[in-house]
Homo-oligomer: A and B are copies of this chain.
């Protein structure tokens, strides 16, 4: 598999990416890397790291880079020659099998959508993120690719999350929950009420509405919501995790006795931090595209970037886009079938109404 790696994306690029590539070439058999970025800059860094171009490591020039402060759309407008856009184009043209980037998330979404397009049957892509809970891990879809969604979008995110839970976490029959509010009587908002109806009819292990309380407690393997809600959930959780570490330090430093206790238990606190560590997964896949794209945190470590390359390689090998397309069709929620069904639902609703009026 050939992985196009965005060498310029991320807060510590390209140095971090170079380190990642060194280990990727050693640890992942047969992987080929297309290193995308400004050739001169990359050559300088490669020399410093004793990396030489080979049949497993090729340089591809990209004139610019989408900086973190740039708007997402610059990837497809002002900076069409940016490293992330070149990566997406390589996949679109069949010159690479997957993209791995630790750069600007919005730019990666924009470039991938425009260059790779959706896989057959899918309306919009979603970002799938692995999160921890008290019994293991769960998957959040969509974690932020789409701010306004339709019921069909959410139903498709459910299927993509299901596949990721199966193939990424090894869960045989993932429990899929629709993120909503309150108990059984409040069915959620307009979007979730409609989505509930679709999910109920699909051949998936749909466990119904779940609420915020059910997220980190292990009630559910895939939590489905729109990208606005998902992004708020993801980022406020990260914020609370940081605040909790702050508070923990605060209370542990208050008395000499507590300080001694904290010193003895020091390694436990380091271990605690790892519960939220996403480096293992290398980032979040953007699912639903006609190609593979793995997006890392902007502040990715070499280990995280290496794992992003590993996951990109695996997903390309598994033909993840095709698997998603097939499952979407099997669930009867491909764009075309859904539009047809929806139309006939509407017309039968109308008939019903006319019947009542008579």
Query: Does the CB pair A106–B272 fall under 8 Å?
Result: no
Q: Return the CB mask of A154-166 against B: 1 if under 8 Å, else 0.
A: 0000000000000
A to B CB contacts below 8 Å, 28 in the list: A72-B182, A134-B246, A147-B188, A147-B189, A147-B190, A148-B189, A180-B228, A181-B227, A181-B228, A212-B231, A212-B232, A215-B235, A216-B239, A216-B243, A217-B242, A232-B232, A236-B237, A244-B244, A247-B275, A248-B272, A251-B272, A254-B268, A257-B265, A258-B264, A258-B268, A260-B264, A261-B263, A261-B264
Q: Which residues of B are found within 8 Å of A36, using beta-carbon distances? A: none
User: A211 within 8 Å of B by Cβ?
Assistant: yes
Return the 8 tightest CB-CB contacts between A and B, nearest first: A212-B235, A261-B264, A261-B265, A71-B185, A212-B236, A216-B243, A147-B189, A251-B268
Residue among A72, A261, A263 with the most chain B CB within 10 A? Answer: A261
User: A267 within 8 Å of B by Cβ?
Assistant: yes
Q: State the A residues within 8 Å of B (CB).
A: 68-73, 105-106, 132-134, 144, 147-148, 179-186, 188-190, 192, 211-217, 225-229, 231-244, 246-248, 251-252, 254-255, 257-258, 260-269, 271-272, 275
**Nearest CB of chain B from residue A326's CB, rounded to whole Å:** 31
Q: Please, which residue of chain B has its CB at the minimum distance from the CB of A234?
A: B212
Q: Which residues of B are found within 8 Å of A262, using beta-carbon distances? A: 261, 265, 268
A147–B96 alpha-carbon span in the complex (Å): 44
Query: Does the CB pair B229–A232 fall under 8 Å?
Result: yes
Query: Does the CB pair B181–A231 fall under 8 Å?
Result: yes
A225–B231 alpha-carbon span in the complex (Å): 13
Query: Does the CB pair B106–A185 fall under 8 Å?
Result: yes
Query: Does the CB pair A232–B179 fall under 8 Å?
Result: yes
A262–B268 alpha-carbon span in the complex (Å): 10
